[in-house]
Homo-oligomer: A and B are copies of this chain.
């Protein structure tokens, strides 16, 4: 059985949980507590699997029964999508695929990297900025990314980010909205994002992946 090293509140782990559910796959869920004990992601037992000291890591077995570790949520999801056929998370057409990947990377390469735990910790500890400056920082990148995404969604969305099927873009969007709501970002300027997020959260594959529904939620 695959093993997913994650954390209930990690946006990147949340993406992979939705992908597993969407593909009807089960993985043993192993919690890496990102805060307790100075962050379990920094312990050598974990860094041997993930040199970046980030969650998630998906451990799979190859044909020889050897365990292999996959890192970077988007790379993991592309792997799952290629290996487990049926209800693909990317459209067939190359151009459409590029649009879905671009939407996904708007979240995964533009918004999330600026607002994840290690960055917020650095801002507080090394740059000694105030809580309100940290909140402004957080909001700034979410608003910038969501503003661009909202325009793409106006053009391409249906019930989901790209038409009426779940794609990689939805897997990136929903955890980012969860995160933005935690940090009290005003979502009023983003009606398409709000609508799609709400629709996704009526789907069992998203519900089962929600942070609050994980065994390590506290």
Contacts and interface: CB of A to CB of B under 8 A. Distances in A.
In the complex, the count of this chain's copies comes to 2
A148 B52 contact: yes
Nearest to A118: B144
A203 interface: no
Contacts of A127: 127, 129, 133, 137
A82 interface: yes
Main secondary structure of the interface of A (DSSP, over half): helix
Interface stretch (A1-9, A93-101, A185-193, A205-213): A93-101
Contacts of A71: 102
Interface string A5-32: 0000000000000000000000000000
Interface in A104-122: 104-106, 108-110, 112-114, 119, 122
A35 interface: no
A181 interface: no
Interface stretch (A73-81, A159-167, A194-202): A73-81
A140 interface: yes
A152 interface: yes
Contacts of A72: 101-102, 105-106, 109
A34 to B, nearest CB: 16
A52 B122 contact: no
6 contacts: A51-B151, A60-B95, A70-B95, A74-B101, A79-B95, A109-B113
Given A70-B98, A82-B94, 17 more contacts: A51-B147, A51-B152, A52-B110, A52-B145, A70-B95, A72-B102, A74-B101, A75-B99, A75-B101, A75-B102, A75-B104, A76-B98, A83-B94, A105-B109, A113-B114, A122-B137, A126-B133
